[in-house]
Structure 1
Amino acid sequence: MEPSSVALRLATGALASLIGKLFVKEGPGAELVDRPVRLSSLVSFRGERRALGEPELRRLASELVRRAGRAVGPAEAPSQETVAELTDALTRALHALGDLDMDDVQAVHLGPEALAARLPRPRDLSADADARWDALLHTCCVHVLHFFTTRSTFAARARVEQTRMLHRLATTTDLLVERLGDRRAEDAAFERRWAEHVIARHGELTIHGLDIGHGHEWPLDAAYVPLEVTTPETEPGSADPPAPAGAGGSGGSGGSGDPSGLVLRAGDALAGRERVLLRGIAGSGKSTLVQWLAVTAARTHLGPPRDHPPGLDHLVGRVPFVLPLRRVVADGRPPTPDRFAHAVGSPLAAAQPDGWADRVLAAGRALLLVDGVDEVPERDRETVRRWIRDLMAAYPGNPWMVTARPSAVREDWLADRTGVRGFAELSLAPMSRTDIELFVTRWHEAADADPALGTALVTAVRTTDALARMAVNPLMCGLLCALHRDRNGFLPTDRRDLYEAALSMLLERRDLERGVDTTVGGIGPGAGTRLSRDALIQLLQRLAHWMIRNDRAEMDRADAVAQLARVLPAMAHHLTADADTVLRHLLERCGLLREPVPGRIDFVHRTFQDHLGAKAAVEEGDFPLLLDNAHRDRWEDVIRMAVALGRPAERARLLEGLLGGTEENFPPPPPVDEAGARAVRRVLLAADCVAHATELDPGTRRRVTDTVARLLPPADLRQARFLAHHGGALLLGLLPGPEGLTDEEAGAVVVTALKIGTDAALPLLARYRHHPSLWLRRQLAWNWHHFDAERYAREILADLDDEDLYVSVHTPEHLRLLRGLGGRARVQLVGTHRPEELITHLVPERLTHLWWRNLPAPGDHGAWTAGFPYLREIRVRRAAVAEGFGPPPGFTAAPHPEDPKAVLMTRDTGDTGERETGPTGS
């Protein structure tokens, strides 16, 4: 049964009314012609304008299946069992429309076949249902796209998009003409083969070191997450909203220049920069970025210019050469251009036309991607540096990207002989919260894993501090994904399993699988000693223990050498290298240490320093040292890990020590003194440690539980604020409710979580979305400016009971996100908002009450209210009226009956509606 034949047998009107129900009603003046609306905000089964719930969506899908079945005639009509199968599958497919990362114009550009391919294909259909599925989905997609083209704003937006596309096509075509020039036919034919070869070789990601029984190759398009890079002056994460400790992330925006503090997407790193030295720790995504750049450039040789990603014109027409140094530097001699293909083991090496690489480089059409300076022996790095500089001098005008770990080469390593910097030096930033979620989602898609597992893992990372501290780069996120899937959605609560798996990957498996020489000392093949995992851990423990004892996050290189020198004599029977050589090996190959500035050593993740230091502290019996510092933030993870790593008696000793001496200061009487604050923090830390103690004396466990019970739930707002300030994220896994709590207790719990202010609090807050207390829901509606706004909107506001509730809008982004949720009836504007922003983002069909908390911006004297026919009340401060903000046309003003500092402007309809005091904030 051909899909097109079924579509022709169904008249457009037969399904138009049903398809129309899938999407929200179009409002007058609701959309700007140059701002296509994402499908997620158009579908009618999401947000607050939803007309369809899950049951209604299923009934609609059932009717679509029934009508499609009727169209093929009684002889070919499906059985009831087949109808049920197709209804289930179509319901899932229609629901997935809201997950597509595109707008309606882009969807129409795709066409029905490509749109259908973006929707999930069922895996478990019977033979009869499977034979009908493609025709059914194609028919639905035809009518969905037809519906988009009938929207009043579609034609105008399509013309805008068409103009942009034509401009982009002309620009990139000019680039191709300029870069390709008058190529020999033989060169052109080979370059197409070379592009296909690059895509085939680098179009998959290889994940090393995962102890699971699944394939390790993932499609690059499905698994690649565009990370961010920063200039050396930038402090990664400094512009981000609060995040779980260690989660990292960056809130800056990209650009084409290179000012201090710049943050941009890694794919744009070469835009406006001819040469880049990219630094990144082990597993941060350097090699993956190299692959992505190569594949993106190669694809511009195979398709029309309009098909390449926006913003990457600098890659159009480039011939990519991926040169992993560990492979191409043979016996210390890097290859000449005519040997590039031979050095990487390309099967096309012998087929390249004579002089082809020279002609490409001389014309300035190459893209040179030199990966892994740290993966060649130190004695060969000066040769590599000279090789790069010689090629740059002989073939100017070609963009370069060279990658290295942070400590592998000095600053300005590639500067010319006069000291002028030849390369812009950038660093890969830690993954942001959005990056982590995208990576986990794509990993599960690429691995053909259950999407529900990915959703559960994202939630676990956001709510579990230990996971958040590890999920800072693709390598660690991949480890968590693999462990999570391998254990059927269960990640061990015992931290040792997580960290031992990570240590095994970084210290033992990764370099071995990649074929990198990991021997220490010696000269020539086969010389030197390959250190075992246990030996490496002993060396690293020595450094971590010193840093913890001395309360340092980094140490002088001389101190590191001295500490290693003290432990090396115990390894003399199989390791003869000196301490300086061993330290260099640890910096370059173990993936855990780095030299951020010359002469200073630290761990790439504080998590590993704490884990290894705690392991050494337990082995040394340093329990008094741990307990004496238990009240200090920087020691919390060390103590948690010491409890996890210790034997049962050692765990009990630590936990009893945390609780000891709290009786006289606990619970803290008002006003709370320093001793009371320390007592609370120690108790909360003990409660958190219990979760990581797999074997523990029942009496100790009971004592911890009973002590915490005296604290929670907080009795009032005073105690809530105190616990949030002194307990922080420790509390999130302990806060109860809402079941069994009074309204006052529930409100205190919510205020505690809001004051903690990290995204790890969102799952707890989500449990209170339907609480009957209006005061409690006001706190949820007011405080989203303390969190990641998009995530808060999705997880809290989207399903928040908003009856009689004003939702506060602090920024233009909040306005945009609120519109994506379908708008709200009552909106409180905090700060200055322009009338055009209100016209663009507030939903006319929903808005009935507007509270302008601060002075309105000067504008059209209220003419904008004509676009909101259901708006009944506007509340403003008296000061706004004094500044000239009079009632809009059709409104009258009077003192607010409940707030002497406010004026209430009411539409002359005789229906003022219920007056509302709105949120006050916690």
Structure 2
Amino acid sequence: MPSVEDRLVAVLGAARQGSGVWLTSRLVLTSAHLFEEDDIAAVAEPRGSGLVTCDVVWAGDPDTCDIALLTARTPMLLPKSPPPLRWGRCAGWQPMPRCQVLGFPQVQRYGGGELEAAQVPGTLMPLAGRMRGHYILHADHHPPAPVQGGSPWDGLSGGPVFAGHLLIGIASGDPMGWQHSSIESVPLSAAMDDPGFRKALQEHWPDAPEFEEVTSAYPEDLAYEPAYAKAVKAAYSRLEIFGLDELSSGDWDLDTAYLSLEAQSPPAARPGPAEPRGRIEDLLGSRPRTVLRGEAGAGKTTLVWWLASHTVCRTLPGQLAELDGMIPFVVPMRSLAARGITSPTPSQLPKIARLPVDRPPDGWAGRVLEAGRGLLLVDGMDEIPQADRELARKWLAGLLRMYPRTRCLVTVRPLAVGSDWLEQEGFEELRLLPLGDEDIQSFVAAWHGAARLECDRYADEHWAKRQRKRLDALEQELGREFRRNDVLRDLARTPLLCAVICALHRARNGFLPETRWELYSAALNLMLATRDIHRRIHQPEGIELTVDEGRQLLQRIAVWLARNGRAELTREQAVRQLASALRGLRRVRAQGTPQSVLMHLLNRSGLLQERSPDAIQFIHRTFQDYLAAKEFQESDCLDELLLHAAEEQWQDILRLVVGHCGRSEERRLIAGLTAAADAAPDRATEWPLRALAAHCALNARYIEDEQYAEVWAGLRRLLPARSERELHALGQDVVAAVH
């Protein structure tokens, strides 16, 4: 793999040889004292592609700023995909071990004076050259002997000085009196202080990186950060795609599943005209702190993962270039709630996501945040109990006041927190928009493209070819169905449900459900019944479950999470819920213990996952809410649901439970919501209850005219909506019915 060391080049002046570092394919940084006025230089890179003629476009005073900038007349042949160059400056006076200078010194000559690269490790002494504005590097090894009466380091001038992966200086000389054990260098920051250098750099390299501060007392940070970046990439660059693991296991490259989403600022969020909708990448770039609202399944977590993995790889698109190379800290709020952490300290941030990486150096995260290099990605603020959200807000506000240069993205469901929740901390709001018609078609193409990649895993090429052909036909057929069927298109307005529709369309040879509840039910059947049949797996782990048995078990876990305001539970908690469910499931109980049943569900259902040790969750909150709603209905606990009707965390369950209810249950549920709205003390409490009652009335399979009219009369007394929050609480189906 190319590294920063691959940027080393040899520089040949009219009378002297030196070293240098290439910045771009046409730009080289070296020492000024190698050249006389109007010199033409040549550059050779170590792979032996020949000499490239260069012009000196800027040269500093060799006594004060011994740095020169060269431009190649033809592009240099460079390694493919080199890592981006990062620049740094020392931010303290403590010695900094594990630095290095690279070049082609006289001491490293071979044969008939042939050049050979040298790598000189050492400790940088920022204070040692303070009076002259230089850095001094003390070599770790025994100093070389003089060469022909001169300095053994002759030819090293212009060589890059690196602190970890950061270029911090250019070698310039061999200080007298140190017997060649030290090498002097000019800090890059000194060149940046010269207006002429800045002008030349801007002209030839307008995208030059910003300086990063290197704290000399903590050089171990530089050694740790590549390992952390590798762990982030390993954890967040792959994603499960719903419906694509029926015939194979594993996950998929995130970029295969990533869809650039549309977003919009809420009305009046910014002064002036309302901002048009735009792609999320375009809007995030200009917002250092953002609260991103989106429905369940809208792609919030996928966006967080995509940002984290591309930030550490420095592969973000141009709109987000400011984030390239920052250190992302992903904070899944559901994990905090499950572990009882309410106010994580900076030292806990790298550990929350349980990345496969060693413990960071003490104080590392705090130093990252202090330097303004941290990207805080707080995912799922709605997944902690409502009572804890104010405490979470205070924690986040305090952390950002302590480290004001930290960039931050917070994801949350639309109604989980108020519009001014983090306004005082400089946050701006964005709202993910439903997938447009073109986005749905793009998603269908991407999903089927990923499915065709799945065919590459088949051993039988003839079978793989048939499956690819079938997927081509299914993609075209589903695309036509989306263009024709308004109801189906409206069901597919989130990436999750669009993926479910693609999977069901494939599994059921084109037959598709017509309502949201039929869609969820069919998806559960797909995961619980047909998944192992497609894989030709019989009684894995010695356990075989029917669809109804699997659903009953999962419902117990889902309802426990709902009642406890949680999105995760431990193995011990899950086993207790399954043990309770098994009392009524005699056939399953005879097959194995609650522990073995849990293992079966984790391995085979596709609906539960253990993303970190002892932290079990549903693959998506939508399925958790659907199953919890079914359990409340089957266990005759609608009254318990109604007691929580005014609480935001329970409202998605209430919207889903009506699809499970029979005729008398529908009447009872809607009457309870109407009565709760009549008794509400204020508009803020009454509005979501009226909206819920209207949603249930619209989706009830049987409702008498008198009750239906009562529901709509109660809502119309409050219309029109007075805020974006009230309008969103109605939901698309109610808004469409009102108009």
Q: TM-score, normalised by structure 1?
A: 0.37
Could you say which structure has the higher helix fraction? 1
- Scaled by the length of structure 2, what TM-score is found? 0.45
